[in-house]
């Protein structure tokens, strides 16, 4: 084991919606690992299974969601004193103990994630008290003020109700709350999607800073790849419940290998840098109930070949760096040449030019 152990190890993870014969597979055979203090970005359109994946991993997925296969191991503690939890075998009690103190989550809409009936201060107090019964009310109050200061908010916000705050303030409060118990893993489910571009920008850089200081690992879900490239170490792109590409963040962003990744990148303007024409992806995400044969993306893919309509491409390494993609274009036995936009070379460290 290296110095940096894996905090999350996911193998062949599958999630279904519904039970028995009416079940629909929403996440199929997803495997990945996440190192401690690392950031994994998960990208995809809505309905790609990216949220289902992380809610499933944390067992927070609502009915009729069912985890239908796989292994999820969550490991915490320093080298030599590590504790591993099998999240899928964990009892409710185990999960309660792990939640928030080790894994916390920030949702897309902070307005709906905060109880509308409660003042912010009470939410902080409750979460701090739940995980430390012996703490005093004063110490919890102090901690709440400290947490707010971390995200640049004044202590007087504690007396406010959620509806009295701006969207950006609410999301900062959610982030502060997620960090309250110094968790090892923070999950961000599109935390900036509901915000305006300026606030988005601010929050992303705050997150970057906080992560540098506190060193928590993060899974960041978004459909906006340009956000991820600044935050993430590694990016996973999902389509119809499958991982279609996984690579180091800059590699993926500057030299995508899967046509879907390319399309996703063209759907959003980069936060900074040159302006490009946005082409987007034609068509709509597939209906999980009746996925097309072969590659799920083939009906919308500009490069689709015959084999794409009949046979599902495996997620395999596509070059010597070990980056993964699930696309027949990179298989020499099925494709003579790779389209140039999917074969860009990317040399690390020079992308800034």
Partner 1 sequence: MRSLQIPKSPKVISGVVILGVFIVLTVIGPWIAPYSPNTNRFSTSQMPSWHHLLGTTLLGQDVFSQLLVGCRETMVVGFVAGFIATVLSIVVGLAAGYIGGKTDEGLSLLSNVFLAIPGLPLMIVINSYLPPGKQANPLVIGVVISLTGWAWGARVLRAQTMSLRDRDFVEAARIIGESRRRIMFGEIGPNLLPVLASSLLFTILYAVGLFTTLAFLGLTPLSTWNWGTMLYWSNTQNAAIAGQWWWVGPPGIAIALVGTSLALINFGIDEFINPRLRAGGLSARQRRKVGMSRRPHLGFTPVRRVSATKPTGSN
Partner 2 sequence: MRVILRRLGVYAFTAWVTITVNFILPRLMPGNPFDQIAAKLTGVVTAQELQAIKIQLGGDINQPMIEQYWHYLNQLAHFNLGVSITLSSPVSTILAGQIWWTVGLIGVAAVLSFLIGTVLGVVFGWMRGSRADNVIPVATFLQSVPYYFLGTVLIMAFASHWHFFPLENAYDLSITPGWHWDFISSLLRHSELPILSIVLSSLAGWMLGMRNMMVTIAGEDFVLMAVAKGLPRRRVIWHAARSAILPSIANFTLAIGLLVSGSLLVEQIFNYPGVGNLILEAVGGEDYPLIQGIFLLITFTVLGASFLADILYYVLDPRIRTATAH
Minimum CB distance to partner 1 smaller for 23 or for 305: 23
CA–CA dist 87, 216 (Å, integer)? 19
Q: Which stretch binds partner 2 (CB under 8 A): 116-124, 202-210, 212-220, 225-233?
A: 116-124
CB of 213 to partner 1, least distance (A): 30
Tokens 């180091």 belong to residue: 248
Question: Who's near 10: CB < 8 A, 6+ residues apart?
Answer: 30, 31, 32, 33, 57, 70, 71, 72, 73
The answer to whether the CB of 27 falls within 8 A of the CB of 56 is yes
Tokens 């995200």 belong to residue: 151
Number of residues that bind partner 2 (CB under 8 A): 30
- 117 counts as binding partner 2 under rule CB under 8 A: yes
CB of 99 to partner 2, least distance (A): 4
**DSSP β-bridge partners for residue 186:** 104, 218
CB of 84 to partner 1, least distance (A): 10
Out of partner 1, partner 2, none, what residue 169 binds, judged by CB under 5 to 8 A for its kind, is none
> How many other CB atoms are there within 10 angstroms of residue 223's CB atom?
18
Minimum CB distance to partner 2 smaller for 164 or for 341: 164
Indicate the helix (H) or strand (E) that contains 155: none
> How many other CB atoms are there within 10 angstroms of residue 18's CB atom?
15
Which residues of this chain interact with partner 1, rule CB under 8 A? 12, 14, 16, 19-20, 23, 55-56, 59-69, 71, 86, 88-89, 92, 95
Question: Who's near 315: CB < 8 A, 6+ residues apart?
Answer: 242, 243, 244, 246, 324, 325, 326
Out of partner 2, partner 1, none, what residue 88 binds, judged by CB under 5 to 8 A for its kind, is partner 1
Please pick, from the candidates 99, 172, 223, 258, the single residue that binds partner 2 as defined by CB under 8 A: 99
- 52 counts as binding partner 2 under rule CB under 8 A: no
CB of 110 to partner 2, least distance (A): 9
Integer distance in angstroms from the first to the last C-alpha of the chain?
36
- 164 counts as binding partner 2 under rule CB under 8 A: yes
CB of 305 to partner 2, least distance (A): 43
Three-state secondary structure of 193-206: CCCCHHHHHHHHHH
CB of 230 to partner 2, least distance (A): 26
- Best CA proximity match to 301, nearest among 314, 317, 286: 286
Out of partner 1, partner 2, none, what residue 20 binds, judged by CB under 5 to 8 A for its kind, is partner 1
Give the CA radius of gyration of the chain. Answer: 21
Query: In the complex, which residues of this chain contact partner 2 (CB under 8 A)?
Result: 58, 60, 62-63, 95-101, 104-105, 107, 109, 112-119, 126-127, 130-131, 161, 163-164
């Amino acid at each position: 084991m290296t110095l940096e152990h894996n905090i999350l190890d996911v193998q062949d993870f599958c999630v279904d919606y519904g039970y028995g014969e009416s079940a629909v597979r929403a996440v199929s055979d997803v495997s990945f690992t996440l190192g401690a203090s690392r950031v994994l970005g998960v990208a995809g359109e809505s309905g790609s299974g990216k949220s289902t994946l992380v809610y499933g991993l944390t067992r927070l997925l609502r009915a009729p969601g069912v985890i239908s296969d796989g292994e999820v191991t969550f490991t915490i503690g320093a080298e030599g004193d590590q504790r591993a939890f099998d999240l899928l075998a964990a009892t409710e009690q185990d999960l309660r103990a792990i939640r928030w103190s080790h894994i916390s989550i920030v949702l897309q809409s902070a307005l709906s994630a905060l109880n509308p009936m409660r003042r912010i201060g009470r939410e902080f107090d409750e979460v701090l008290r739940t995980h430390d019964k012996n703490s005093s009310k004063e110490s919890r109050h102090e901690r709440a003020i400290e947490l707010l200061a971390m995200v640049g908010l004044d202590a007087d916000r504690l007396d406010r109700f959620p509806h009295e705050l701006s969207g950006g303030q609410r999301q900062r409060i959610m982030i502060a709350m997620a960090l309250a118990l110094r968790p090892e893993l923070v999950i961000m489910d599109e935390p900036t999607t509901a915000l305006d571009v300026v606030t988005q920008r601010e929050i992303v850089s705050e997150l970057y800073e906080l992560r540098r200081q506190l060193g928590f690992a993060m899974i960041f879900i978004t459909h906006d790849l340009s956000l991820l490239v600044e935050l993430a170490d590694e990016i996973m792109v999902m389509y119809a419940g499958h991982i279609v590409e996984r690579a180091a963040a800059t590699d993926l962003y500057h030299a995508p290998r899967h046509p879907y990744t390319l399309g996703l990148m063209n759907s959003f303007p980069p936060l900074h840098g040159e302006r490009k024409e946005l082409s987007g992806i034609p068509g709509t995400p597939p209906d999980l109930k009746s996925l097309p044969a072969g590659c799920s993306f083939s009906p919308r893919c500009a490069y689709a070949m015959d084999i794409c309509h009949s046979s599902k491409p495996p997620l395999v390494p596509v070059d010597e760096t070990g980056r993964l993609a699930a696309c027949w274009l990179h298989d020499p036995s099925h494709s003579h040449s790779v389209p140039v936009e999917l074969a860009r070379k990317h040399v690390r460290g020079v992308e800034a030019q």
